[in-house]
Amino acid sequence: MEKLKNILVVGGTHGNEMTGISLLQYWANSDYLQRPGLNIDTLLANPQATQLGRRYVDYDLNRAFTKELLDKSNETRSEDIKRAREIAEIYSENGSKFWPDMVIDIHNSTANMGQTLIINNPHPITRSIVAHLAQEFPMVKILQEPILGDNNPYLASIGKLDLTVEIGPQPHGTLNADLFFSTEKLVQRVLDLIVQYNENKLPLASLETTYFEQSDAVDYPRNSKHELDAMIHPNLWGADYQALEKGAKVFVDFSGNAIQWKGETTWPCFIGEVAYLEKKIAFIKTDKKTALW
């Protein structure tokens, strides 16, 4: 890839995730996001949901960027899917703005995610950027998601390179000042590293890096009516990215009986994320890996 020029910084993809929404508001009144050689645009992705203070209006916007849902020949009444189509068009190759070389999409999680950097497209430039950030920011964790191609539902997939930032724990609709400031620093540093890459000063595949490779999601135990039958066990609560070994307590039912983990060792994340209740996800399994990034 040539130099990175067009960078899109996104907040409010989910309308109740306040760190990104508030950072956009802060950056709108300043020239803090300017960098030599970069054309940086900001986007409040879901203004309608932000107005309502909700994750989305009628469909999760950050699950609406698959090829099928963006296809205008499929009629839709969904406000969020219409918005996804609008964003994808504006930021496409022939769109009114630009086709982003990189999209940085800022999210929050109620889970203890720290500053999780999620990448789908495992490009060496993005890998080097997140590897450097992991060395500089103690709260950074790297989450490599599977390559999804046309089925990629995430907003960041409209860019040539993608970087989704998940900041937590923060209850949705609230704003934690420490997380606000540390995320501001993190995004600024991403832009610095992009400039460094453009100046041929960012070595690729040079840092030994620990990352977490996403595998399956795990649902809560449910009764015959599909209602929750257990909760996250207190031992697991907040223990994102820590090894969960076979036999460890993972859920506890309403009578207080612990339920043990029967699978192989995994490093769960998004533990108890409130927005994933509707998606029937209690946590997401990962494998811990090390490589030169």
Name the minimum Å distance from CB 166 to Zn ion.
7
CB 161 within 8 A of CB 95: no
Interface mask toward Zn ion for 90-129; x: CB under 5 A: -----------------x----------------------
142 or 193: whose CB is closer to Zn ion?
142
Q: Say which amino acid occupies 213.
A: E
Residue 51 phi, psi dihedral angles, 5° rounding: -60, -40
Closest chain position to Zn ion (CB): 107
Cβ nearer to Zn ion, comparing 105 with 125: 105
**Which residue's CB is nearer to Zn ion, number 169 or number 244?**
169
Q: Quick one: CA torsion of 57, 238, 23, 6, rounded to 10 degrees?
A: -80
> Shortest approach of Zn ion to residue 75 CB, angstroms?
27
Q: Which is nearer to Zn ion, 55 or 85 (CB)?
A: 55
Applying CB under 5 A, the span of 12-20, 35-43, 112-120, 284-292 interacting with Zn ion comes to: 12-20
Q: Which stretch binds Zn ion (CB under 5 A): 9-17, 93-101, 120-128, 224-232?
A: 9-17
**Amino acid, res. 194:** I
Does residue 14 bind Zn ion (CB under 5 A)?
Answer: yes
The amino acid at residue 264 is: E
C-alpha separations of 118 from 112, 157, 162 in Å: 15, 12, 8
Q: Which is nearer to Zn ion, 205 or 274 (CB)?
A: 274
Question: Which of these segments, 13-21, 90-98, 207-215, 247-255, binds Zn ion (CB under 5 A)?
Answer: 13-21
Task: Say if residue 150 is exposed, middle or buried (CB neighbours under 10 Å; 0-12, 13-18, 19+).
Answer: exposed
The site string for Zn ion over 223-242 (x = CB under 5 A, - otherwise) reads: --------------------
Asked if 172 interacts with Zn ion (CB under 5 A), we say: no
How far apart, in whole angstroms, are the C-alpha atoms of residue 272 and residue 220? 9
Q: How far is the CB of 172 from Zn ion (least distance, A)?
A: 8
CB of 79 to Zn ion, least distance (A): 17
Number of residues that make up the chain: 293
| Distance of alpha carbon 18 from alpha carbon 83, whole angstroms | 19
Asked whether 260 and 249 are in contact (CB, 8 A), the reply is yes
Listing DSSP states for 186-217 in one string gives: HHHHHHHHHHHHHTT-S-SS-SEEEEEEEEEE
- Return d(Cα 141, Cα 123) in angstroms, integer: 17
**Is residue 243 exposed (0-12), middle (13-18) or buried (19+ Cβ within 10 Å)?**
exposed
Structure tokens at 56: 């989305």
Please state the closest distance from residue 13 (CB atom) to Zn ion, in A: 6
Looking at beta carbons only, is 55 or 132 nearer to Zn ion?
A: 55
Residue numbers 15-34 binding Zn ion by CB under 5 A: 17
CB of 219 to Zn ion, least distance (A): 20
Q: How far is the CB of 14 from Zn ion (least distance, A)?
A: 4
Count of residues binding Zn ion (CB under 5 A)? 3
Which residues lie near Zn ion (CB under 5 A)? 14, 17, 107
